Amino acid sequence: MYASVQSGGTDERVMQHVPLVKRIAYHLLNKLPASIQIDDLIQAGMVGLLEAIKGYDATQGASFDTYAGIRIRGAMLDEVRRSDWTPRSVHKKARQVVEAIQAVESRTGREARDSEVAGYLGIAIDEYNHILQDSVSCRVFSTEELALAGDHFLEESTNSAEEPLAGLSRDGFRRALASAIMGLPERERLVISLYYDEELNLREIGEVLNLSESRVSQISAQAVLRLRARLADWLTDHCR
């Protein structure tokens, strides 16, 4: 798929960065639905690597590895989006939950509780938990999407004539994301930390917290729902 566009020094650079592509692919695989195949991620990542090689400008300040990592991960997530077969009803309910969290937290000035979100939606708590469970395989709730939104600012800053302004936007989003994570309820913040920083799987997190794997997945989904609700202005104004 990509051999035909390789030539000269490009071949050498591609081979040099194949381990980077594989490392990013396996790192992402742990955070994606089971239907995603590692070979598809690697193939998409190789396309991203070639785009990075063609588009890299050393005068813009970012190292090639940093720039390439963004393009590689972006290409992989684009592939995941294209292969997203999550029913529309799941996406619709996801958006409704995000809107409910926003409304409840805006009204109360504190974190929205499960029961309050369910009440706002007019559904039982069991149905709300079912929505959270369904959302685990839905790309709408991936924190990788949030991280990628921040990475877009770095890529844009290398192509923008207003680089200082783009840099401020990028740094502002990352600060907002970090602040939103720190502002999560303690258990949600702990689950996010164990999953994304320590890279434990849901079963392992359940063992640490003495919770079932399904309950951990619900907590993880709700944490990212809350992040998306609190970062809605950034994601709407800067990343769409």
pLDDT, tens digit (0-9, with 9 covering 90-100), for 124-136:
999 999 898 887 6
pLDDT of residue 220: 86
Nearest in space to 87 (alpha carbons), one of 135, 124, 49, 28:
135
Give the rounded percent of residues in the chain with a pLDDT score beyond 90: 28
pLDDT, tens digit (0-9, with 9 covering 90-100), for 29-61:
776 766 778 999 999 999 999 998 988 887 777
pLDDT of residue 159: 42
Q: Which residues of 64-74 are buried (b: 16+ CB within 10 A; e: fewer)?
A: eeebbbbbbbb
Q: Name the CATH topology of 87-240.
A: Butyryl-CoA Dehydrogenase, subunit A; domain 3 (1.20.140)
Count of H-run helices and E-run strands, the chain: 12, 0
- 1-85 has which CATH code? 1.10.1740.10
As given in the structure block, the two tokens for residue 27 are: 């790192």
Give the rounded percent of residues in the chain with a pLDDT score beyond 70: 75
Mean pLDDT of 208-224: 89
Distance, CA of 146 to CA of 239 (rounded, Å): 9
Q: Within a 10 A sphere around the Cβ of 159, how many other Cβ atoms?
A: 11
Q: Please report how many Cα atoms fall inside a 13 Å half-sphere around the Cα of residue 168, on the Cβ side.
A: 3
Residue 96 has pLDDT above 60, yes or no: yes
Tell me the domain boundaries of the chain: 1-85, 87-240
pTM of the complete model: 0.59
Residue 148 has pLDDT above 80, yes or no: no
Distance, CA of 157 to CA of 14 (rounded, Å): 24
